[in-house]
Chains A and B, each alone.
Chain A
């Protein structure tokens, strides 16, 4: 009923590649892909001083709250959010109804350019996540690594 989200090496590399391309082509400071529950999937660009875990959780909270507002108004969702700052701007969009794409950019870029590049990148990202969802639904492709963990493995995690 609630299949866990799984990320494999192949798709991970594809997502990372698309983020890198978007960072370059949009002249962005950095780009993030985050799942709707607030977990960071991929980051690209100048992320050095950023607390990416917090960023992911707050972005997901933001999207969730906005989605709640949309429902109240009878909208399906607001698929794009834009926050303008003095130095940095934040462009947040929902990709394929599944994941959140965040672009942070400054004066070296513009909203128009970011919009344009995000549109293309979203289509490509949506394809990757569709493929992941398809894989997750196929019986037998579910990861087995966790079936093999023992109660001892779990206990050991807490022995300190």
Chain B
């Protein structure tokens, strides 16, 4: 649920990075954080376990600039990917405006990817959202690994809707900003429609 403040002339949107455990959601945010000007970002918060697995969420506030005199702010969140944190994942999706699904390209993670998309669909539905309608992009991460499946195969399994999709290597930033820009654009277009 975007928040338009006519008084401070700000528009706030919430974007959630979803995907199976260890697929690289937190790494995406870390890269965005590292490469963004200090004046355009707030502090990155990571509620993580001692082994750096996301426990509740990561949070990164970004300012993208102005549209028609309104400051656009995006709040990026990641969910914890491990299966047993489902209750937390559900909470993070509340009020979401756009979703990035980060897939792990490794062949042996295909089932985990599929389960996670299904889990996303169910959890969105609990909040009254439809995965087939919400602003949504898919990222095929870990393209650098030798055991990565082909993009065609990933696309066939994970992007039936044909939304914008991107190949990525999150630690080096390949595809990270393309993914973010694409989802931000979809969110703003949705706002324009006035839903």
Contacts and interface: CB of A to CB of B under 8 A. Distances in A.
A19 to B, nearest CB: 13
Contacts of A53: 42-43, 61
Interface in A136-158: 142-149, 151, 153-158
Contact of B42 (A36, A37, A51): A51
A2 B87 CA distance: 21
Interface residues of A, number: 42
A132 B194 CA distance: 17
Interface residues of B, number: 45
Task: Give the secondary structure class of B's interface.
Answer: mixed
A142 B75 CA distance: 23
B64 A157 contact: yes
Given A146-B194, A157-B65, A39 B185 contact: no
B7 A12 contact: yes
Indicate the member of B45, B56, B95, B191 with the most A CB atoms within 10 Å. Answer: B95
Contacts of B14: 37-38
Contacts, number: 126
B94 A2 contact: no
B128 interface: yes
Contacts of A67: 91
A39 B3 contact: yes
Given A1-B128, A68-B87, A148-B68, A51 B191 contact: no
A145 B42 CA distance: 26
Interface of A: 1-9, 12-13, 35-39, 41, 51, 53-54, 57-58, 61, 64-65, 67-68, 142-149, 151, 153-158
**3 A-B pairs with the lowest CB-CB distances in the bound complex, closest first:** A12-B7, A37-B95, A64-B91
25 contacts: A6-B6, A7-B3, A12-B7, A12-B8, A13-B7, A37-B1, A37-B95, A38-B14, A38-B75, A39-B12, A41-B5, A53-B43, A53-B61, A57-B45, A61-B47, A64-B92, A68-B87, A142-B194, A145-B70, A147-B194, A148-B68, A149-B68, A157-B64, A157-B72, A157-B184
